[in-house]
Amino acid sequence: MRIEISGLTKTYRGGVAAIDGLDLAVPTGMFGLLGANGAGKTTLMRILAGIVRPTSGRVTVGEHDLGTGAGRTAVQRDLGYLPQDLGVYPDLTARQFLDYVALLKGMDDRTVRRRRVGELLEVVALTEHADRRLRGFSGGMRQRVGIAQALLADPQLLIVDEPTAGLDPEERIRFRTLLSQFAGRRTVLLSTHIVDDIGQTCREVAVLAKGRLIFRGTVEELTRRAQGQVWSVVTDGPAPTEGTVVSALPHDDGMRYRIVAPSAPSPGALPLEPGLEDGYLAVATGRGNASRQPASPPGRRP
Contacts with other proteins by CB under 8 A lie at 46, 49-53, 73-74, 76-77, 79, 81, 83, 85-92, 96, 100-101, 103-106, 108, 146, 149
Q: Nearer Cβ to other proteins, position 157 or 282?
A: 157
Q: How far is the CB of 180 from other proteins (least distance, A)?
A: 22
Give least dist CB 108 to other proteins, A. 5
DSSP 244-301: EEEEEEEETTEEEEEEE-SS-SSTT-EE----HHHHHHHHHTT-SPPPSS-SS-TTS-
Q: CB of 89: closest distance to other proteins in angstroms?
A: 6
Q: Which phi and psi (to 5°) does residue 97 adopt?
A: -60, -45
Which CB, 105 or 258, lies closer to other proteins? 105
Which is nearer to other proteins, 81 or 137 (by Cβ)? 81
Give the other-Cβ count within 10 Å of 267's Cβ: 6
Min. distance of Cβ 75 from other proteins in angstroms?
A: 9
Contact assessment for residue 198 and residue 163, using Cβ atoms and an 8 Å cutoff: no
For the beta sheet containing 244-251, the strands, ordered from the edge strand earlier in sequence to the opposite edge, are 244-251, 254-260, 230-235, 270-271
**Rounded distance between C-alpha atoms, residue 185 and residue 155, angstroms:** 11
Q: Nearest distance from residue 82's CB to other proteins, in Å?
A: 8
Separation of alpha carbons 160 and 191, rounded Å: 6
CB of 266 to other proteins, least distance (A): 46
Q: Which is nearer to other proteins, 26 or 226 (by Cβ)? A: 26
- Residue 255 buriedness (CB in 10 A; 0-12 / 13-18 / 19+): middle
Which residue's CB is nearer to other proteins, number 79 or number 222?
79
> For residues 34 and 49, which CB has a smaller minimum distance to other proteins in the complex?
49
**Smallest gap from residue 291 Cβ to other proteins (A):** 33
Which residues 6+ apart lie within 8 Å of 91 measured at CB?
Answer: 133, 134, 135
Minimum CB distance to other proteins smaller for 109 or for 119: 109
Strand-pairing partners, residue 206, are 33, 216
